[in-house]
Chain A
């Protein structure tokens, strides 16, 4: 593989991913949610592309945060971590050894999860701002109690998600690794080139179920949207984002959808994303199908509380473990 091929392959694939990811939220909203909810829905370009453009041209306002610069930089960090995952899925990058392995993928995904904790901790929106005077009116209950912001709640929830919510997807990621006998992405792709896609095995099918549930949890989509439940924390970690920083929130979400779709096609189908190969169509299909299925599920689900979240996550983790056991066998 010469240098020019590698450069074109990597930059082209990343650019294509960026372009496609801008349309994924629109596909989800327009063609699935709107159809199910019997409404016209937004233009397909609106949620992912036009909204982003609009936000880039909005006036930048200072967020209510103790560390506004750090708070504003978090979506960019999230975007970079998603970008790095995609980057090391592209074949020319397999030469980077440990970075092109499942350990690195898990690490970058962890960054994606941890930033929500920081976002929530650093946001101080007006939505739960204390009154300019203490609640000492006659009859007021429990004056001078320590107050939380709504975003603090979402930060705590993000912390719990790190603890247990991400189990299903991480367990599912290692199903192909067990079958290939290696955590290197290059080896997993090579194994499937020789033995056929993992998806067409029993372990692969079970693992796909766990992966999909984990995918929904990672994207904080209904019914797993506990970080941004409208009934209590509203936008949660994203509450204070405005202008270009909110645009990055949108870009990151769309790009993560694309990246996770590519990750699935690499690990379970054995087709790495490469703009110079026809296999890219498989990646694009995976990147488009996952949000569509997710939108169907989310359109018919209420938001969970921990009472439902724990058992569902536990069940998904058990499914993942079952897939691992089957993969071992």
Chain B
């Protein structure tokens, strides 16, 4: 409670099933006259033991299983899992495959951010904005289906490149390009309407702020961290993103407004990256099959998922996965979600949780917390 007065009157429990939550999680809000004094978020309802299931599976199978970790950022899980294998096996992928992976990754970021904005507006009570954003997002989903064959689990990356069916021909490039124009126009119109709406602005400005200092203290990651003014985007450290020019978007305040605008502006950056990738798409193969399966030690890989830093690691033994660990961005952000609620109205508390873009289904996994001070 950080030295706050310890008067807790009542508890309101929301969940594990609640209409404001896309996924099942449990929030305990400790309130005084509808003002949240403390909060506790509990996950665990959706724990599926994916790492345990992956244990001993052939690498390709295990990789495809990682796509089931999340229904929103499924592709980036597969991408990162494939990167682990490629790093361990020393596989170099064709440049064209790298570009297509980035196109898919950025399309996924678009659909994740649009989903976030739609969900945020739904929690805000603005159904019209929510519906319109889902309408815009539909274009992205169809583009992902066009590339990968599915709307949610497109399974583009494989070890050595991408699946040949996900290669881009002229028709696909044309469709993606048109889609980008459409999304840019619609999101611009939305942003203009959204920021000029006094009722919406009064509901989100200054609500559930996270300071820069607290964001760093709570290990916040991704757009939620950048919304507090910290200029850090893992994409700038990923070699595959080197050919592309894009800005790291930051906002000040870390409140709901900053977080929502953060995603809006990141949508434009993603569109910029996709356009560059389409323009400079190299010719050539999309998959390199000249690699040998061998044993590796534990290999770690980080990528910038739509919600922040995503970590995957495993070792390969006899062509099978051992000791897989996945840490999703929302795991880092849970602390911030709990912290952001404090001092705000109950209705805003859900908004404070949603502003951190929670994805609890990805996050649900067995963890062991070791208290380093316990022995002292």
Contact = CB atoms under 8 A, between A and B. Distances in A.
B124 A303 contact: yes
B10 interface: yes
Nearest to B21: A231
Contacts of B350: 231-232
Contacts, number: 114
B9 interface: yes
B46 interface: no
B221 to A, nearest CB: 22
A135 B38 CA distance: 15
Contacts of A222: 125, 127
Contacts of A146: 9-11
Contact of A303 (B11, B13, B17, B125): B125
Nearest to B40: A141
B203 A308 contact: yes
A304 B199 CA distance: 8
Interface in B124-138: 124-128, 131-132, 135
Contacts of A201: none
Contacts of A300: 126, 128, 197
B36 to A, nearest CB: 11
B345 A305 contact: yes
B19 A234 contact: yes
Interface string B128-167: 1001100100000000000000000000000000000000
B347 A229 contact: yes
A303 B20 CA distance: 13
Contacts of B20: 230-232, 234
B122 interface: yes
A231 B199 contact: no
Given A141-B38, A304-B203, A308-B199, A153 B125 contact: no
Nearest to A135: B28
B11 A230 contact: no
A141 B125 contact: no
A150 B14 contact: yes
Nearest to A299: B128
A130 B11 CA distance: 10
Given A302-B126, A302-B203, A305-B345, A232 B10 contact: no
Given A299-B127, A307-B345, A147 B19 contact: no
A3 interface: no
Contacts of B124: 231, 302-303
Contact of B128 (A36, A230, A232, A308): A36
Interface in A212-259: 222-223, 225-226, 229-232, 234
A146 B124 CA distance: 28
Nearest to B6: A142
B11 A301 contact: no
B131 A148 contact: no
Interface in B7-25: 8-14, 17-20
Interface residues of B, number: 40
A79 B1 CA distance: 47
Interface string A69-84: 0000000000000000
A128 B13 contact: yes
A4 interface: no
Contact of B11 (A33, A148, A234): A148
Contacts of B132: 37-38
Nearest to A147: B11
A37 B347 contact: no
B134 to A, nearest CB: 9
A127 B17 contact: yes
A39 interface: yes
Contacts of B349: 232
Nearest to A304: B203
Contact of A301 (B40, B122, B126): B126
Contact of B38 (A36, A129, A142, A153): A142
Given A230-B123, A232-B347, A127 B11 contact: no
A140 interface: yes
B30 interface: yes
Given A37-B127, A141-B40, A147 B13 contact: yes
B135 to A, nearest CB: 6
B12 A148 contact: yes
Contacts of B17: 127
B233 interface: no
Contacts of A278: none
A236 to B, nearest CB: 11
A300 B198 CA distance: 11
Contacts of B317: none
Contacts of A226: 347
Contacts of A234: 18-20
A306 interface: yes
A145 B340 CA distance: 21
A127 B8 CA distance: 22
Interface string B180-216: 0000000000000000010110110000000000000
Contact of A147 (B10, B38, B40): B10
Given A153-B12, A230-B20, 4 more contacts: A39-B131, A231-B123, A300-B197, A304-B199
Across the A-B interface, the 7 shortest Cβ-Cβ residue pairs: A303-B125, A37-B131, A231-B350, A302-B126, A302-B124, A145-B11, A302-B125
6 contacts: A38-B132, A146-B10, A147-B12, A302-B124, A304-B203, A307-B202
